[in-house]
Structure 1
Amino acid sequence: MMASSQSCSCRLLKMFLSLAVQIAHIILGNKGSSPMPVGGRTPNLFLPPPITTTGNGVMDSQAQVFRSEFLRVLLSRRSPEVPLMVDYSNSVENPLFQSDVPSTEVKKNCILFVMGNIKDAEQGRLPLLILSLKKTSEQRRPAIVFMHGTNTNKEWLRPWLEAYASRGYVAIGLDSRYHGERAYNCKTAYNDALISSWKNGNTMPFIFDTVWDLIKLAEYLTKRDDIDPKRIGITGISLGGMHAWFAAAADTRYSVAVPLIGVQGFRWAIDNDEWEARVNSIKPLFEEARIDLGKSVIDKEVVEKVWNRIAPGLASKFDSPYSLPVIAPRPLYILNGAKDPRCPLGGLEVPLKRAEKAYKETGSSGNFKFKAEDGVGHEVTSYMIKESSDWFDKFLK
């Protein structure tokens, strides 16, 4: 943890910050109040994520095939496309937490600060919390998208968002599917959605649907007059780290990625019986699947069937050995705990080797980094926050 004098300096800085705060919603097919087009422009129909080239034909081809197939899966459970719109709303007075409010110890001692809001035709609005320093020039700024973990919300991220804002970024937090404003005051909304997906197979609330939202968000952010569209970073914690990882793989508009305690090997965990800690984080889903499959206990067959049902390809063609390499050559820093049972290091051996190879082949070895912090389980530390902020400063400023 940082020294108390540094924490004091951090609080003093916050006192003197002049932050511009926006609460907005990106709207797709809204039937409510009349929205205004994003940035005052005529809205465009959604376009697939842009494809960039690295100069390495093999890697470019693999990345294009991956993104095309991943986008096909995302589109397989979507309603028809509609224009991208935005409106504005008030701050959330009492944000919903679906479990005990997580510790804020790291946040109180971190050296960062930022905020925003958005909407989706499916699953209601996509709320954003956007923070930035008040505009002092017409110069576009780099942006950071920060994703929260399971059962929390964008408001819980505000100290981190403010920290990034104080460093000159436009900082964006959003509620992932069935969290925060999108839980509609239901404490079991996320688990209910997971179970519904298992039974009906019509949504993908674990990772994939929120990645779809992040593709929409990238479209919106690149239209904003205050953001440099070529300098948009993404990070997140736990579930948010998974969102950041897959969003960067799916959409090249995220130019720098730092997933925190999220990257793992789903196939490896099944094959090596290292899935229990991950299953326990959303256990009601797996208990329901166990009953439906006539099993007395949750076993690897139950786990594999659940992943295949609620996130097709998660434990196969979209798993980390295939999704991490396609982020190259964009800067990627993976930060995990060395003793994290949800992201066991054994499951990262092959993905990391393949990622290193991809970065080497694209002539960008310096853009890839992995750190497993000694003695740390499934938690974010001040070291991780410092490392991630330095990484963003290195590549976005």
Structure 2
Amino acid sequence: METLTNETNELRSEFLPCQRSAKVLVKNCMLFLLVSNLLITGAMETHKAVEFRSKFLHVLLSRRSAPVPLVAEPSKPVANPIFQSDVPSTAAIESSPKAHMNNLKGMLNEENLHLHTEAGEQGRLPLLILSLKEKSVERRPAVVFMHSSNANKESLRPLLEAYASRGYVAIGLDSRYHGERADSKTAYQDALISSWKHGNTMPFIYDTVWDLIKLAEYLTHQRKDIDPQRIGITGISLGGMHAWFAAAVDTRYSVAVSLIGVQGFRWAIDNDAWQARVDSLKPLFEKARIDMGKSKIDKEVVEKVWDRIAPGLASKFDAPYSVPVIAPRPLYLLNGAEDPRCPLGGLVVPVKRAKKAYKKTPGNFKFVAEDGVGHTVTSFMIKETSDWFDKFLKQRNMTFG
């Protein structure tokens, strides 16, 4: 604990000088409190992990709106959820293992909430929580599920129902500018372009990771039905990125699975393998190309965009640095071997470093690239995810160090 005490003292001296302006002081106080809490919850963390979290939280706080009390308010179910592209197939997620019940839907308790994570409309985090109605004096394990780009929490209902049937508290949410947080079918793309133009928000990955930090606080401190030591997180594609970064920055997510989400952003730039990822966000990069006076999108455009909308994504927070700091908590990375958005070449170094970080607990890390699969989630991935959470979250008094 000596190293952690030293880190806390360093943070105290760095972030709490009285001479700073009120606005900066508030944000630095928030950073100190956040990192201090993570130091306490992650007592076995390495110096690199603590340093990573401090730097990442500093970036998150640089573009936050005013803090608000962490309050969850009841809301109503969404009748017609917004999809910003074609409605995704639910075939794979419907294959998730579930308990055999004659009337599952009738046995489920459904909560629709808005959790306030910061000031402003995007600071209202919509939650869909499913669990079994049966009363239990024991706290249950929980899993947070993150949807893919242009989808919403309602698209995850088959997964939520399956996990709830097996005794989990299953939590779905809308990421920034999606679902209830979207006012049009172009809301997400519009937000990305606005971030490029003004640099005042981080709608690609980072802002939703802030929401996930606040969600972890809510789940661990305000939910009497959830075991705060047994909270998992998973997601698909963009949701896989959210799960990856949330687990890297917040140790309260004790088990993580990322589906077709982990990639090497720097590696893609250096190896001319960025096109598929850029094509998935084409309006943003086209706007940047025009603003930079380029005749076509090139790697300079790509690098400038990442630095602008998600500082550090292609450098100090990239997969080689963020994946290993999840250790020793259980982490499973599931990708497609033919995925052009998450090319395997960009995962060689992150996986190698992760294996080194998990040297003392090798069974807590797993990486699989499914043969013949591109950027799509499969029934195999869904089953593997389910087995991983059952293995690590169904046991009590978990220790991973």
Fold agreement, TM-score > 0.5: yes
The yes-or-no answer on 1:50 pairing with 2:20 is no
- Aligned-residue offset at 1:54: 5.9
Equivalent residue runs for 1:251-290 within 5 Å:
251-290=250-289
Query: Does structure 2 conserve the Cα–Cα contact (< 8 Å) formed by 1:193 and 1:205?
Result: yes
- Aligned-residue offset at 1:335: 0.3
Between the aligned partners of 2:193 and 2:163, the Cα distance in structure 1 is 36
Query: Counterpart in 2 of 1:95?
Result: 81
Equivalent residue runs for 1:125-274 within 5 Å:
125-184=124-183, 186-223=184-221, 224-274=223-273
| Greater Cα shift, 73-82 or 334-343 | 73-82
Query: Does structure 2 conserve the Cα–Cα contact (< 8 Å) formed by 1:112 and 1:159?
Result: no
SS of residue paired to 2:321: helix
Letter aligned with residue 388 of structure 1: T
CA RMSD of aligned residues (A): 1.5
- Aligned-residue offset at 1:135: 3.2
SS of residue paired to 1:111: coil
Query: Counterpart in 2 of 1:64?
Result: 50
Letter aligned with residue 174 of structure 2: D
Query: Does structure 1 conserve the Cα–Cα contact (< 8 Å) formed by 2:81 and 2:179?
Result: yes
SS of residue paired to 1:81: coil
Between the aligned partners of 2:265 and 2:132, the Cα distance in structure 1 is 40
Structure 1: which 5+ residue stretches go unaligned?
1-44
Query: Counterpart in 2 of 1:354?
Result: 353
Query: Does structure 2 conserve the Cα–Cα contact (< 8 Å) formed by 1:147 and 1:236?
Result: yes
Between the aligned partners of 2:354 and 2:68, the Cα distance in structure 1 is 36
Query: Does structure 1 conserve the Cα–Cα contact (< 8 Å) formed by 2:70 and 2:116?
Result: no
- Aligned-residue offset at 1:136: 2.3
Letter aligned with residue 349 of structure 1: V
- Aligned-residue offset at 1:105: 1.7
- Aligned-residue offset at 1:188: 0.4
Between the aligned partners of 1:109 and 1:172, the Cα distance in structure 2 is 18
TM-score between both structures, scaled by the size of structure 1? 0.85
The yes-or-no answer on 1:391 pairing with 2:377 is no
CA displacement 1:133-166 (0-9 Å, x = unmatched): 0132111000000000000000000011100101
Higher relative contact order (CA 8 A, sep 6+): 1
Query: Does structure 2 conserve the Cα–Cα contact (< 8 Å) formed by 1:336 and 1:372?
Result: yes
Letter aligned with residue 320 of structure 2: P
Letter aligned with residue 50 of structure 1: L
Aligned residues: 347
Query: Does structure 2 conserve the Cα–Cα contact (< 8 Å) formed by 1:211 and 1:243?
Result: yes
Match for residue 110 of structure 1 among 82, 96, 110:
96
Between the aligned partners of 2:383 and 2:319, the Cα distance in structure 1 is 25
Q: Percent identity among equivalent residues?
A: 75
SS of residue paired to 1:384: helix
Between the aligned partners of 1:311 and 1:189, the Cα distance in structure 2 is 18
SS of residue paired to 1:144: strand
SS of residue paired to 2:242: helix
Query: Does structure 1 conserve the Cα–Cα contact (< 8 Å) formed by 2:69 and 2:116?
Result: no
CA displacement 1:253-292 (0-9 Å, x = unmatched): 0000000000000000000000000001111000000000
Query: Does structure 2 conserve the Cα–Cα contact (< 8 Å) formed by 1:53 and 1:60?
Result: no
